[in-house]
Amino acid sequence: MAEQRTRPRDAALGTGLGRVLLLVYGIFALSASARALVQITTHFTEAPLAYLLSALAGLVYIAATVGLAIGGPRGRAIALTSCSIELLGVLVVGTLTIVDAVAFPDATVWSEFGQGYGYVPLVLPFIGLWWVWRHRPTAP
């Protein structure tokens, strides 16, 4: 199928490095959502807060992946918002899980700054935000 419109220049889908970034974001979107789905469907009552947080993390990763992929003004806005929430989430949840471990009886992607995922969740929002910043629109 021929493409009707040209893809925005800052769409991550348009460059090789962007595609790798999307792959990594996609992996996290998949793993966070799948984890949340299993947790919520099998033992939701054990730790509702942690599991809802897992679900939120999954949605945020999906939004970030989509935003980075499509680019353009709308994609930028989506990517900027979701990457910011992601950064905030990993920092707040990371701190809380260390300071107040009782509130988080079960793990999420963001627990202990994403330690269970090789700290990639801590690094990923910075890379996403760097991507948005590097492809900021330049004044004509």
Partner 1 sequence: MRDVNGPLSAATIVVALVFAVWFLLRCALNRPPSRFDLLAGLALGALVAVLCLVAVVGLFGDDRPSEVGTFVGYLFTAVAFMPTAVVLARMEPTRWGTLILGVAALVMPVLVLRLQQIASVTGG
> In which residue are the tokens 């998949």 written?
30
92 binds partner 1 (CB under 8 A): no
- Output the smallest distance, CB 17 to partner 1, in A: 5
Q: CB under 8 A: which stretch of 14-22, 48-56, 88-96, 127-135 binds partner 1?
A: 14-22
By CB under 8 A, how many residues form the interface with partner 1? Answer: 13
> Token pair of 66, please?
């989509």
Q: Is 24 in the site for partner 1 (CB under 8 A)?
A: yes
Indicate which single residue of 13, 27, 56, 85 sits in contact with partner 1 (rule: CB under 8 A).
Answer: 27
Tokens of 91: 């920092």
Among 4, 16, 102, 133, binds partner 1 (CB under 8 A): 16
Q: Is 56 exposed, middle or buried (0-12, 13-18, 19+ CB in 10 A)?
A: middle
- Residue 137 contacts by C-beta under 8 Å, 6 or more apart in sequence? 10
Part in contact with partner 1 (CB under 8 A); list of ranges 34-42, 78-86, 91-99, 126-134: 34-42
| Residue 23 binding partner 1, by CB under 8 A | yes
The footprint of partner 1 (CB under 8 A) covers 15-17, 19-20, 23-24, 27, 30, 34, 38, 42, 118
